[in-house]
Structure 1
Amino acid sequence: MTSDMKFRDPSDLATLDDFLDEDGIREEVTLRAVKSVIALQLQQAMKAQGLTRAAMAAEMETSRAQLNRVLDPEASNVTLDTLSRAARVLGHSLKVELV
């Protein structure tokens, strides 16, 4: 940590959303959180069904490298189509909505 870092007075911020909005990172943080949740849900469904990554990739008709990106909470470059195929293989569906 550098000595020139300035810390905010937390009393100026009412919520975490206020903090994220002020820093201009709310959308990015939200998208990363959503991707993390989807990746976790897919991993849990695979485990519950005893499906290996190799078998899952084969069912999706994709590479294991692509499946690894789907299951990586940090990878944000995954298409909705790919997420939907992964969900379908596991007997689920992907729901996206505007709020």
Structure 2
Amino acid sequence: MEKSKHLGSSFDSFLESEGILEEVEAVAIKRVLAAEVSQYLDLNQVKKTVFARRINTSRSQLDRLLDSENPSVTLQTMVKAARGIGKKLELKLAS
């Protein structure tokens, strides 16, 4: 039986060796934000059009944010959405 080259390594190191670590991290961050915004809208019975107007963006931009498979959303929209649900989006560089 052939020994796995990834045995004992971290999942991050596996993703990095596959060349997809950054992409996977970005999608995960967006999915968390989308889930939080979606939950806020549901719990508070806020319609998407009303929320989009409240955060000064378009309904289509909000739809892109809420679509976990769509990576094309701007940082500005993410910040607005976080503020719209009473939270702060923090971005940091870490080593």
TM-score (norm 1): 0.80
Q: 1:12 aligned to 5, 15, 30, which one?
A: 5
After TM superposition, give the deviation of residue 39 of structure 1 in Å: 0.7
Cα distance in 1, alignment partners of residues 4 and 82 from structure 2:
42
* Structure 1 position 97 matched with structure 2 position 68: no
5+ residue gaps, structure 2: none
Q: Which amino acid in 2 is paired with 1:29?
A: V
Q: Which amino acid in 2 is paired with 1:84?
A: V
5+ residue gaps, structure 1: 1-8
After TM superposition, give the deviation of residue 11 of structure 1 in Å: 2.7
Q: 1:53 aligned to 40, 48, 54, which one?
A: 48
After TM superposition, give the deviation of residue 53 of structure 1 in Å: 0.8
CA RMSD of aligned residues (A): 1.6
Aligned to 2:70: 75
Contact 2:48 2:59 in 1 (8 A): yes
After TM superposition, give the deviation of residue 32 of structure 1 in Å: 0.8
TM-score (norm 2): 0.83
Larger Rg belongs to: 1
Cα distance in 2, alignment partners of residues 61 and 15 from structure 1:
41
Identity of aligned residues (%): 37
Residues matched between the structures, number: 91
